Structure 1
Amino acid sequence: MTKRRLIRIYPGGERQFSSNYNPVSALNAGCQLVALNVQTKDSHLAVYDSLFRENGNTDFVLKPATLLNSEVPANNKKRISIKVIKGKNLTTSKKLIDTYVSLRIEGVKDDVKKNNTKTAVTADGKNPEWNQTLQFDVTRSELDFLVIKVKETHYMGLKNDTIGTHAIPIANLTEGLQTVPLEDNFLRKINASVQLEISIKDLI
């Protein structure tokens, strides 16, 4: 249906709150317009925004070929290895804080379930070093997103606050060493980043 018709998805009219639903399932069904509450700056909006940011914020992006043509094979299995090296300027406070990095996949159901992991906590909160490699096997890389969150943990892990977030479509990941800028809880760029080393391998 989405190959021939323009379909718009939007929050229910009787909703009383401005929380956002996850737009990925609608996007992966081929829906062209997915309306979210822009006043709610959450990870769902960050994922949706990342789709257009990677196209230079030109207000549109082409669908994956598998959603445009049923004859295009949907086998895009990949193994993604991400070495989380270090963080930079994660806090302006002089006190020591415990920080860690959480990596998660948003996308097709099977990929979301098995790919939620995080690095160990380190006590150097401002410029921590983790040097840990996290690995993901995804089945539909053209439909998945990587969500990176840097968090501060309190009270022996009973409370966690997000320091910064970055989302990117898996299809737009590039291999090699790279510095990833972070955004705050209002999706504004902050002077903080994490350094990653990424490798991508095709799976048969």
Structure 2
Amino acid sequence: VRDEPACVVQQTAKTLCRLYPSGIRQDSSNPDPILPWNFGVQMVALNFQKYDKIMALCHGKFSDNGGCGYVLKPNYLIDASRAKFNPFDHQKNPSDFSENVFGQPKTLIITIISAQFLSRSSSKANDVPDPYVEVSTHGIPCDQQAQRTCVVHNNGLNPIWKETFRFHIDFPQICLVLFTVYDHDVLSKNDRLAYFCLPMKTMQTGFRHMRLRSKDNGLTDSTLFVHVEIEGYEEEDDC
């Protein structure tokens, strides 16, 4: 794959490919599906019994197209011989964007305003959550970024942040945006309370209430209140 990435993209443009987790993953852990998705692999098998970040990305990926289980590839993964797309290190030519080969880069501006009715980390936990929000983008390497808010102590009912983050995204058509709410803990690993994931191309601008999912992918009564802006790219950064 790393020796001839363009050839792999061209192969997936004309044939069905399926990727399986390695047989030595006896703990049912999942490989990162972002890389094979970026190469146009149609079927990436995952261990659904493992409720992890990977399953959150999978749920967000296929929430597009009405959640029917099928999503369309962008044009540069279909017309691969013309685009010569390299998911590892794609050097963009300005003429590529003018010809609408890859679509226009975007700047995603997200303001995390507040959350409502956050659950505790477990039914046995007696402490009130100390929540913070991590916003991460998942796509080709230059589009993978993460930023987080400060911690609000002892407030799971209506924590308020009002923090704004900017993400420069070169390939928004294959970029996923993941919102994850964590419970900060000084003495142990931070617990993942809830999440919301969606493709960037489906994001709507303005003030939005996101209904969060629990760490086992079930719907909750928790919500995240955000403001979304999407602008044209401000800087020409190479991957």
- Mark yes or no: TM-score above 0.5: yes
The whole-number CA distance in structure 2 between the counterparts of 1:6 and 1:176 is 38
Q: Which amino acid aligns with 1:59?
A: G
Structure 2 stretches lacking a partner, 5+ long: 1-10, 84-99, 235-239
What is the root-mean-square deviation of aligned Cα atoms in Å?
Answer: 1.8
Are residue 9 (structure 1) and residue 37 (structure 2) matched? no
Give the number of aligned pairs. 201
Bigger radius of gyration, 1 or 2? 2
Report % sequence identity. Answer: 27
Structure 1 stretches lacking a partner, 5+ long: none
Are residue 29 (structure 1) and residue 39 (structure 2) matched? yes
Alignment of 1:9-158 (within 5 A): 9-69=19-79, 70-71=82-83, 72-91=100-119, 96-112=128-144, 115-123=145-153, 124-155=155-186
**Does the 8 Å CA contact 2:211/2:222 hold for their aligned counterparts?**
yes
- The answer to which structure has the higher strand fraction is 1
Question: What is the DSSP-based 3-state SS (H/G/I as helix, E as strand, rest coil) of the residue aligned with 1:142?
Answer: helix
Q: Per-residue displacement from partner, 1:37-94 (whole Å, max 9, x unpaired)?
A: 1111111111112222222221211111221123552253111100101100013688
How far off is 1:14 after superposition? 3.7
Q: Which amino acid aligns with 2:142?
A: D
Question: What is the DSSP-based 3-state SS (H/G/I as helix, E as strand, rest coil) of the residue aligned with 1:27?
Answer: helix
Q: Which amino acid aligns with 1:104?
A: S
The whole-number CA distance in structure 2 between the counterparts of 1:17 and 1:122 is 34
Q: TM-score normalized by structure 1? A: 0.91
The whole-number CA distance in structure 1 between the counterparts of 2:190 and 2:165 is 20
The change in CA–CA distance for 1:5 and 1:165 in structure 2 (over 3 A counts) is: same
Q: TM-score normalized by structure 2? A: 0.78
**Does the 8 Å CA contact 1:76/1:142 hold for their aligned counterparts?**
no
